[in-house]
Copies of this chain bind each other. A is one copy, B any other.
Amino acid sequence: MRGFSQSITYLRESPTRRIDAIRERLKRESRDIINLSAGQPGLPPPIEVRSLLAKQLVEENSMELYGYTPSQGILELREAVSEDLKRLGGINIDPGNIVIITGGQEGMFATFMTILNPGDEVILLDPTYFGYKPIIEYFGGRIKRLGLRMDDGFRIDIEKLKELVTNRTKALVIVSPDNPTGNIIDRDTAKAIADLARDENFWIISDEAYRTLIYEGEHTYMYRYAPDNVISINTFSKDPGIPGWRLGFIYGPSDAIPKLKLAAEEMTYCPPVIAQKFVSMYLRSEARMKHMRYIVEEYRSRRDAAIESLRNYLPEARFIVPRGSMFVFADLSNYISNSEKFAEVLLEKFGVTVIPGTYFSDIYKSAIRISFVVENADRIRLGIKRIHDAINEYGKSL
């Protein structure tokens, strides 16, 4: 019978994709759109490394730059990643425990493909990145939500977490630095979660996509506290800034690695070789630390512009100052009630894209996620002024 899978109905178009589509339409109408929605860096990868790759493209006539690679990724890159984790985080991850993946999205899909059986429970924080829900549901997982309080700095209350754990708990997802809040998990909380994961025998899926985008404090490597329970998902989309090239890496305990590798191999056979070569050169070049510092400085000043503008234009907005990642998660409940309707009006009438809080949360329905990495500081200010204007004109009705 020609027809379709039942399970595929769990999948929905990513909400950012829907906003992208409207934005593209308005762009074709030559509208000036301020992009405060995308989780995509505005700064290109470093020119030094791009030039090296360009040279290889012209000169390389063997299949070295064009052919398949091992499905786990080339050894050179896995070694470079291992060194990078050692240098930045002081953790020792054997290259054999690293699987190069075709972007963080593949990492998420392969991870749940590897661990979930139907009926397994997965604990998600609220708010959290919207990409996890459809994948978990697709694989038959049941989601339990742990609500976090902004007043409390989105801190994880371990006692409340314990109440959610059952003998069906398969995993807890931690995104730190966080999307959408910019929060960084502190060491004590990380340790307490690690103890619980070991005692109760569940996985910690540690999404570290933003690990090098830290504005204050430092990144907490969950691996340090529960090496046998952590599967860490990482991407090169944000640093060096090649989201469209689709490359990232996972690391985890030795019993998980062959399975993660097989899952990724079945999905895409191997990660893109040209991106693997590029990032291998990047991580081992002088450009690596330089570029990382450069983007952190630049994004910090953009974050500061966003924070200052929010305080000026929207004094009753509630948010925490993000210490990492790319976003401010601003609760506008003193101004509006329906963030989805607001985001639509804001885009159609004021030419500013943001992501509604409902995509991340069942609690923060009047919040919006503001990205501060796509546009420069002036345009971020202008965008937040337009949010103010939109509230002034339509706030009461939304």
Contact of A268 among B66, B114, B229, B246 (CB under 8 A): B246
| A93 touches B (CB below 8 Å) | no
Complex-state Cα separation, A54 to B278, whole angstroms: 13
B105 contacts A268, CB within 8 Å? yes
User: Is there an interface contact between A262 and B66, defined as CB atoms closer than 8 Å?
Assistant: no
Q: Write the chain B residue with the least CB distance to A266.
A: B11
Q: Which of B103, B229, B269 contacts A2 (CB 8 A)?
A: B229
* Known pairs A13-B265, A68-B40; A272 contacts B259 (CB<8 A): no
Interface residues of A in 26-53 (CB under 8 A from B): 38, 40-42, 44-45, 47, 50-51, 53
B272 touches A246 (CB 8 A): yes
| A346 beta carbon closer than 8 Å to chain B | no
Closest to A237 in B: B68
Chain B residues, Cβ within 8 Å of A134: 266
Whether a CB of chain B sits under 8 angstroms from the CB of A392 is: no
- In the complex, are the beta carbons of B57 and A42 less than 8 A apart? no
A115 lies within 8 A of chain B by Cβ: yes
A101 to chain B, nearest CB (A): 9
Question: A315 at interface (Cβ–Cβ under 8 A)?
Answer: no
CB pair A244 B270 closer than 8 Å:
yes
* Contact among B102, B117, B246, B271 with A6 in the assembled complex (CB-CB below 8 Å): B117
B272 touches A1 (CB 8 A): no
Of A8, A61, A201, chain B has the most CB atoms within 10 Å of the CB of A8
Across the interface, do A102 and B246 meet the contact criterion of CB distance under 8 Å?
yes
Q: CB of A314 within 8 A of chain B? A: no
Measured between alpha carbons, how far is A6 from B114 in the docked complex, in Å? Answer: 9
Contact (Cβ within 8 A) A58 B51: yes
A217 — which chain B residues lie within 8 A by C-beta?
none
User: Which single member of B20, B55, B71 contacts A54 (CB below 8 Å)?
Assistant: B55
Question: Which of B243, B245, B269, B275 contacts A105 (CB under 8 A)?
Answer: B269
Q: How many residues of A contact B (CB 8 A)?
A: 85
- A170-B3, A245-B274, A259-B4 are known contacts. Are A57 and B60 too (CB-CB below 8 A)? no
Q: Which residues of B contact A275 (CB under 8 A)?
A: 272, 274
- Determine whether A242 belongs to the interface, using a CB cutoff of 8 Å to chain B: yes
The one of B135, B244, B256 in contact with A272, judged by C-beta atoms closer than 8 angstroms, is B244
Query: Is the CB–CB distance between A12 and B66 below 8 Å?
Result: no
Kindly state whether residue A329 has any CB partner on chain B within 8 Å: no
Within 8 A of B (CB), among A113-141: 113-117, 120, 134-135, 138-139
Whole-angstrom distance between the Cβ of A125 and the nearest chain B Cβ = 19
Given contacts A1-B169, A102-B246, A246-B102, contact A11 B117 (CB under 8 A): no
Question: A203 interface residue, CB < 8 Å from B?
Answer: yes
Chain B residues near A167 (CB, 8 Å)? Answer: 1
In the complex, the answer to whether A66 meets B229 with C-beta atoms within 8 Å is no
Name A57's closest neighbour in chain B (CB-CB).
B54
Q: Is B202 in contact with A103, judged by CB distance below 8 angstroms? A: no
Known: A2-B203, A4-B114, A102-B102. A17 touches B273 (CB 8 A): no
Closest 6 interchain pairs by CB?
A244-B273, A54-B54, A105-B269, A54-B57, A11-B262, A67-B244
Question: Can you report 26 residue pairs joining A to B where beta carbons are below 8 Å apart?
Answer: A1-B170, A2-B203, A2-B228, A4-B115, A4-B256, A5-B114, A7-B117, A11-B259, A13-B265, A14-B269, A40-B68, A44-B66, A54-B55, A57-B57, A63-B241, A65-B244, A102-B268, A106-B268, A134-B266, A138-B266, A244-B273, A267-B267, A272-B272, A272-B274, A272-B275, A274-B274
